[in-house]
């Protein structure tokens, strides 16, 4: 089989919707390495994003490879086929070496009754009180608890197994990273449910290296976490402890770790994530996405002139088509229409006013989270502009790249992986 691909302890998913910022993103990881911390870059782009942009997975791979070569990066890096399923995996097989298998849509689907019976019988080790290291109290799992959790999650895990084996048949065992995503669902999984899910993954013989559960609270696109911080802290600790238990109990890969989806800009939970990682000596995969596209816009607006004019035109179009743009993201945005300035008002803004409203500094006087969320989902507008947008990105490369690198390094990598204030 040869060398098994292993995701390093710390990794960051970096979206690059227009495939122009791979070098700037990699610079953020290089800065971390200069401070003694290895954070593996994982360039992620979903099928939906490729469809909206009109791009191909091979472009993401090419941009990543070229950045790595240009910057002399000699450590692991990956290209993630983000949120794929059986119907969409095919176009990613030649260019990706990381697959986020999204089975959220199958949670709650009826599993075969005999499968449930077999599973409940085979998981007797999860009966009774289970002490998870580093948590305040033991969790109790009854036979009925296992049956209920299996009824909710077993069908989803079996779908993940089917997709995994189809990828393996092409790529070969150990030649790609597998992540299983269950975060886009109605409520957070309990630690007991996570243990049942991990037991089912082990029985499917999926060598999962990261898992994305659902956490309590709102993980909206491109803005800070909204929710009960102590509750998130408790859930994160319990999930890390559950993974540690499952690795030993079920023989899952030793490198298995949590993946935090829509993790970009969740500033208020970063201290809790870092504390728990340090306490358990655990890794994490922080998945960011549209943050880079917003930093492109900020860079163009900061450049003034044609760049600012373009940024204003993008806002005008996004404002005019806001319902259409927001519909696919309705569950992960909270926009207050009353907080959206009209396109005519934005047209009169200075460079400082535009960047002040858009740049994610929550306590800054001009910051506007509704405007930021609208532009986050408005990348389709830039895609439709074609060369006008890309040419300005290229002619303003230095100022755009500076914003991209600074955002990823100072606002994300430093607080999560290095534990210093952002």
pLDDT of residue 422: 46
Q: How far apart are CA 349 and CA 408, in angstroms?
A: 26
Q: Which of 250, 253, 255, 130 is nearest to 191 (CA)?
A: 130
Residue range 247-252: mean pLDDT, rounded: 96
Are the C-beta atoms of residues 220 and 332 closer than 8 Å to each other?
A: yes
Tokens 């956490």 belong to which residue? 215
Which tokens sit at 137? 């109290």
Are the C-beta atoms of residues 233 and 274 closer than 8 Å to each other?
A: no
Residue range 32-58: mean pLDDT, rounded: 96
For the chain, the domains span 10-290+409-418, 303-403
pLDDT of residue 1: 41
- pLDDT tens digits for 278-302? 999 999 999 998 899 999 999 999 9
Residue range 20-49: mean pLDDT, rounded: 97
Residue range 63-85: mean pLDDT, rounded: 98
Mean pLDDT of the chain: 96
pLDDT of residue 66: 98
CATH of 10-290+409-418, one of 3.40.50.300, 3.40.50.920, 3.40.50.1470, 3.20.20.70: 3.20.20.70
Q: How far apart are CA 161 and CA 85, in angstroms?
A: 11
For the cut 90, the answer to whether the pLDDT of residue 2 exceeds it is: no
Q: Where are the beta strands (DSSP E) in 148-245?
A: 177-181, 210-212
- pLDDT tens digits for 331-385? 899 999 999 999 999 999 999 999 999 999 999 999 999 999 999 999 999 999 9
- Strand 177-181 relative to strand 139-141, pairing: unpaired
Q: How far apart are CA 383 and CA 378, in angstroms?
A: 9
Half-sphere exposure of 350 (CA within 13 A, CB side): 4
Are the C-beta atoms of residues 403 and 299 closer than 8 Å to each other?
A: yes
Which tokens sit at 293? 């596209």
Q: How far apart are CA 158 and CA 112, in angstroms?
A: 10
pLDDT of residue 421: 54
Share of the chain above pLDDT 90, in %: 95
pLDDT of residue 420: 73
Q: How far apart are CA 356 and CA 349, in angstroms?
A: 10
For the cut 70, the answer to whether the pLDDT of residue 386 exceeds it is: yes
Tokens 């490369």 belong to which residue? 397
Residue 185's pLDDT band (boundaries 50, 70, 90)? confident
């Amino acid at each position: 089989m040869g060398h098994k691909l292993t995701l390093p302890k710390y990794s960051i998913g970096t979206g690059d919707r227009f495939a122009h910022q791979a070098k700037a993103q990699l610079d953020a990881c290089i800065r971390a390495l200069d401070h003694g911390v290895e954070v593996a870059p994982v360039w992620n782009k979903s099928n939906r994003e490729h469809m909206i942009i009109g791009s191909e997975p091979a472009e993401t791979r090419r941009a990543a490879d070229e950045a790595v070569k240009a910057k002399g990066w000699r450590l692991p890096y990956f290209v993630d086929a983000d949120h794929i399923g059986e119907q969409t995996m095919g176009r990613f097989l030649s260019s990706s070496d990381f697959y986020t298998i999204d089975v959220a849509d199958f949670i709650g689907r009826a599993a075969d009754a005999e499968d449930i019976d077999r599973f409940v019988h085979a998981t007797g080790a999860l009966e009774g009180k289970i002490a998870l290291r580093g948590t305040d109290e033991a969790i109790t799992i009854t036979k009925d608890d296992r049956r209920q959790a299996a009824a909710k999650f077993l069908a989803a895990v079996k779908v993940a197994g089917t997709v995994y084996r189809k990828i393996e048949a092409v790529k070969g065992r150990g030649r790609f990273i597998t992540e299983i995503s269950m975060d886009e669902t109605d409520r957070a999984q309990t630690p007991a449910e996570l243990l049942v899910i991990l037991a089912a993954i082990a029985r499917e013989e999926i060598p999962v290296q990261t898992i994305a559960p659902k956490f309590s609270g709102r993980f909206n696109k491109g803005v800070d976490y909204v929710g009960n911080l102590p509750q998130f802290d408790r859930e994160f600790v319990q999930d890390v402890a559950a993974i540690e238990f499952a690795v030993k109990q079920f023989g899952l890969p030793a490198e298995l770790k949590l993946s935090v989806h829509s993790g970009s800009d969740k500033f208020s939970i970063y201290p809790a994530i870092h504390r728990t990682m340090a306490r358990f000596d655990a890794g994490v995969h922080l998945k960011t996405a549209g943050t880079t596209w917003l930093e492109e816009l900020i860079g163009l607006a900061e450049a003034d002139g044609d760049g600012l004019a373009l940024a204003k035109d993008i806002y005008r179009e996004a404002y005019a088509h806001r319902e259409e743009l927001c519909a696919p993201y309705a569950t992960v945005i909270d926009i207050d229409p009353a907080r959206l300035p009209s396109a005519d008002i934005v047209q009169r803004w200075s460079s400082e006013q535009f960047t002040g409203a858009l740049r994610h500094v929550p306590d800054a006087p001009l910051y506007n989270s509704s405007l930021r969320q609208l532009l986050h989902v408005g990348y389709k507008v830039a895609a439709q502009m074609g060369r006008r947008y890309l040419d300005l990105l290229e002619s303003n490369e230095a100022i755009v790249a500076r914003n991209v690198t600074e955002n990823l390094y100072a606002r994300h990598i430093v607080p999560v992986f290095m534990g210093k204030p952002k």
